[in-house]
Structure 1
């Protein structure tokens, strides 16, 4: 069993099991495409198009801005922005001058912000006028010396750029920024800066390009050190997987945030490598997405299951032409079968499920897009990626079909956790990344995730995996979304509770749901408690926050 790679038999002939990956500054993805296609659209934002030459020049200017502020190679620069041109310019500009990007979630509250900025030691933050007050409150408890403030209106076309502040003020938003020493206007700085090319040489295997903080579902989030090599390798791996991508012709729908590592690799880096047009959507608004697909005809749409669920259940989906979409890669959470089938039927494209984690840049597995695939599985390891399933206690490799912890090895595996040597040595052993995800591999080399090791429910001595029950709930015609968690139980230790959101106009009783589950699950897996809700708490990327559900449960 050891050393065998049964998955290779399912690689299509266009995909090689191994490739050579460039060893250079990650920013070269933009530099090289801009040299080849200077006048092609690089970014589209709310009606405004920026061509490759413009994005490259702005990124050079930003690199020179940082140098002028005394930022050195290896210094950390926080980017706290939604999907907008300023975020892309700041990202590439930081990489060009050798800085380390710290992607920061714009939804962070002060406590989370202070933790991430202090832990990373960031000295510069690029943020929105809308978020300025929050950043200013946190700033004093961190090492931040320079705050660069941009606005959504900075890259809006006329007359939207004039109307935006009026509308926001009417909505009660605070856009006032007091510029002073250490607080600068992003657009003004760029205008005054030199556009002289900057793209420093790096030691791609050692130098960190990105500090990406893990979701923090287990408490305080940790900074994952991803090198230039890690991110370049994963960008190329995913590109080779999606081998029908046409250079300079694709349109990427940017609905997932680029501050999340999934969006960063499969959206931003992938689009730049292939000289595509990246359509930036600042927040997930289903009507805006439908209008954008209808008007701009995107061809590639990476997303989270919640996005596809929202799209296919929307009343307008039948009126809009969404057939331009050829490829969708779903990540961050399990993709229910019904959603996959319905979405493919509506678009005529391929929706495949993949898998990854922040610690692996993030993609490690995917179903072949135009080949043999297994619905309900996360697919097979990408080129140059090894995976195995081991016993949690002994570390021995598990027989085919048996559940254990999934381990990953490959060029996309992180350098380690920022300033956390002990946790790094626990997570990476002999080059193998211990994912904390429980799963199995079948005889064809296809992997399935059963659940997070920590999400396991142990009820009456039985091991119960929430994902299996969620799959059954999703099959019910009245259910739009569902999450399952273990809640304390005097008799069983823990018991299964289902949190359910119904489709509009549908009804369902506890009893009906129990009967549905009894026909499809062993008795000990059937939810003993059901809570019907209007919505489920989610991260920006659409992952359901089980931890929050459990915290709410404790308060009741």
Structure 2
């Protein structure tokens, strides 16, 4: 059931693929492609050069690049060199990048040419010795890819922290989740290979941002582990995805519910059923409405499997299997080999079947902890069980349905947003006395953040100025969709709405 043979050091996997599929396409983007032989060579050479430039075992490398082949090369090279890859969204503001570079204590920062001056200025301002390495049309990165690796030895420790993936929590700044190659590839071995059937025969169309744990798992590590091929979209757009799917190349498409919603809407309008070559679509990152699942499958005649996953478990916890035995609206069954319980949040005791409880889990895919946050780690992991903060129900057949959250995350189109992070940003304004950010239902995105703001006596605040203030400090998906100026903020002992 579990494909344990897929769990191996990154370098060993790449050498194996170079031997078995030397000329086979590994990854492609709109600028370039790389074969499995080339991927082995490029990552080995870049790893060797990172070590030559001073990267030491366990040091962090921030990957601040757009979705691309070069993103994959930089990430895998870092791991082969014994470093820790720190994915950072290319849309991050300077403040968000600064926090991650500082928190993860990054020794290197890999950036595109247009971000080099900003990155160097940031490093100077932080008074750090972080080295900035540029990809693209600057010579240094390509030189590293082409230089032969002399006396290079791959890092083979698959149990050390190899990735720090930042996830939003309820306490403001995101937490860095420490994940190993073993924990990540265990999800490949227990989920994507046996359940979704991902194999060397698949050609994947990736719509996901690679800095997410879901994408890092299914669209990078699972691709090389299974020997599949992949086209990487720099950003998802319905029109671009439509053009790509018209080629009939693709067999497998992962996404978040919003992607499938947009794609279905567009194809229903045009009347095109563009998934004739696709055997399977998979959804995670947010709850997939049962109605969308049914409508999608009825229109395209292609299975859309959904599951439940979180960064702290190297992504997937549950997954629906192919076939007719699925429960509408359910996120499926626990992965083989993973312990899942539903407990009363107050007593910690298991709840009866059909009763709502907090989902907790335990298994080989569990994180090693939050980077430099022992107290938060101790609170989240109790006796080896990770407490997700998500509420769920289980039916008699073991199918789980997510029903709500104990924690206050807002999930916008698959992107996790911590209300506290937005609140802290808004409270920097002198005119603001109090602020609360909540999630509001949205037909396409699931939820969007809205801000309720209390102004100081006699203070005024232009809403455009407030939005501009947020845009300068937060990624675009975190910007409040609406602003409400209110007299006071309802607290837990109050029942009034901020509207």
TM-score (norm 1): 0.72
**Equivalent residue, structure 2, for 1:204:** 158
Tell me, in whole angstroms, the C-alpha distance in 2 between the residues paired with 1:123 and 1:290.
40
Tell me, in whole angstroms, the C-alpha distance in 2 between the residues paired with 1:201 and 1:145.
22
Distance 1:216 1:144, change over 3 A: farther
Distance 1:305 1:284, change over 3 A: same
Name which of 134, 148, 158 aligns with 1:194: 148
Name which of 88, 105, 111 aligns with 1:121: 105
**Equivalent residue, structure 2, for 1:38:** 22
* Deviation at residue 27 of structure 1 after TM alignment: 3.8
**Equivalent residue, structure 2, for 1:147:** 132
Tell me, in whole angstroms, the C-alpha distance in 2 between the residues paired with 1:554 and 1:33.
58
Name which of 350, 359, 366 aligns with 1:397: 350
* Deviation at residue 330 of structure 1 after TM alignment: 0.6
Contact 1:331 1:354 (8 Å CA) reproduced: yes
Structure 2, gaps ≥5 residues long: 420-435, 446-474, 487-498
Contact 1:209 1:228 (8 Å CA) reproduced: yes
Deviation track 1:265-313 (CA, whole Å, cap 9, x = no partner) reads 1121111112111101111121111101112521111100110111111
Contact 1:290 1:320 (8 Å CA) reproduced: no
Name which of 176, 179, 194 aligns with 1:223: 176
**Equivalent residue, structure 2, for 1:419:** 372
Name which of 177, 185, 189 aligns with 2:140: 185
What do you get for the CA RMSD once the two structures are aligned? Answer: 3.0
Tell me, in whole angstroms, the C-alpha distance in 2 between the residues paired with 1:282 and 1:197.
35
State the secondary structure of the residue aligned to 1:202. Answer: coil
State the secondary structure of the residue aligned to 1:148. Answer: strand
Deviation track 1:433-488 (CA, whole Å, cap 9, x = no partner) reads 110111111111111111221249xxxxxxxxx99xx9xxxxxxxxxxxx9x9xxx
**Equivalent residue, structure 2, for 1:303:** 255
Segment drifting more, 104-113 vs 363-372: 363-372
Tell me, in whole angstroms, the C-alpha distance in 1 between the residues paired with 2:119 and 2:314.
27
Note if 1:275 corresponds to 2:227: yes
* Deviation at residue 319 of structure 1 after TM alignment: 3.6
Note if 1:263 corresponds to 2:194: no
**Equivalent residue, structure 2, for 1:361:** 314
Structure 1, gaps ≥5 residues long: 1-15, 155-176, 178-183, 457-465, 471-482, 486-493, 504-542
Name which of 182, 186, 190 aligns with 1:233: 186
* Deviation at residue 144 of structure 1 after TM alignment: 4.9
**Equivalent residue, structure 2, for 1:454:** 407
Tell me, in whole angstroms, the C-alpha distance in 2 between the residues paired with 1:303 and 1:103.
18
Distance 1:246 1:189, change over 3 A: closer
State the secondary structure of the residue aligned to 1:383. Answer: coil
**Equivalent residue, structure 2, for 1:92:** 76
* Deviation at residue 32 of structure 1 after TM alignment: 2.0
Contact 2:203 2:228 (8 Å CA) reproduced: yes
Contact 1:25 1:199 (8 Å CA) reproduced: no
Segment drifting more, 432-441 vs 343-352: 343-352
State the secondary structure of the residue aligned to 2:57. Answer: coil
**Equivalent residue, structure 1, for 2:64:** 80
* Deviation at residue 348 of structure 1 after TM alignment: 2.2
* Deviation at residue 19 of structure 1 after TM alignment: 5.9
Name which of 34, 49, 64 aligns with 2:33: 49
Contact 1:59 1:92 (8 Å CA) reproduced: yes
Name which of 115, 118, 124 aligns with 1:131: 115
Name which of 69, 74, 85 aligns with 1:101: 85
Tell me, in whole angstroms, the C-alpha distance in 1 between the residues paired with 2:360 and 2:296.
31
Tell me, in whole angstroms, the C-alpha distance in 1 between the residues paired with 2:108 and 2:439.
44
Tell me, in whole angstroms, the C-alpha distance in 1 between the residues paired with 2:100 and 2:485.
27
Number of residue pairs the alignment of both structures matches? 435
Segment drifting more, 28-37 vs 383-392: 28-37
**Equivalent residue, structure 1, for 2:390:** 437
Tell me, in whole angstroms, the C-alpha distance in 2 between the residues paired with 1:434 and 1:548.
28
Distance 1:274 1:108, change over 3 A: same
Tell me, in whole angstroms, the C-alpha distance in 2 between the residues paired with 1:391 and 1:227.
30
* Deviation at residue 376 of structure 1 after TM alignment: 0.3
Tell me, in whole angstroms, the C-alpha distance in 2 between the residues paired with 1:195 and 1:143.
28
Note if 1:552 corresponds to 2:478: no
**Equivalent residue, structure 2, for 1:322:** 275
Tell me, in whole angstroms, the C-alpha distance in 2 between the residues paired with 1:294 and 1:317.
13
Contact 1:390 1:406 (8 Å CA) reproduced: yes
Contact 2:193 2:199 (8 Å CA) reproduced: no
Tell me, in whole angstroms, the C-alpha distance in 1 between the residues paired with 2:238 and 2:49.
36
Deviation track 1:76-96 (CA, whole Å, cap 9, x = no partner) reads 111011221111111111111
Contact 1:38 1:52 (8 Å CA) reproduced: yes
Tell me, in whole angstroms, the C-alpha distance in 1 between the residues paired with 2:62 and 2:444.
39
Distance 1:439 1:243, change over 3 A: closer
State the secondary structure of the residue aligned to 2:192. Answer: helix
* Deviation at residue 501 of structure 1 after TM alignment: 5.3
Tell me, in whole angstroms, the C-alpha distance in 2 between the residues paired with 1:226 and 1:552.
37
Tell me, in whole angstroms, the C-alpha distance in 1 between the residues paired with 2:151 and 2:248.
32
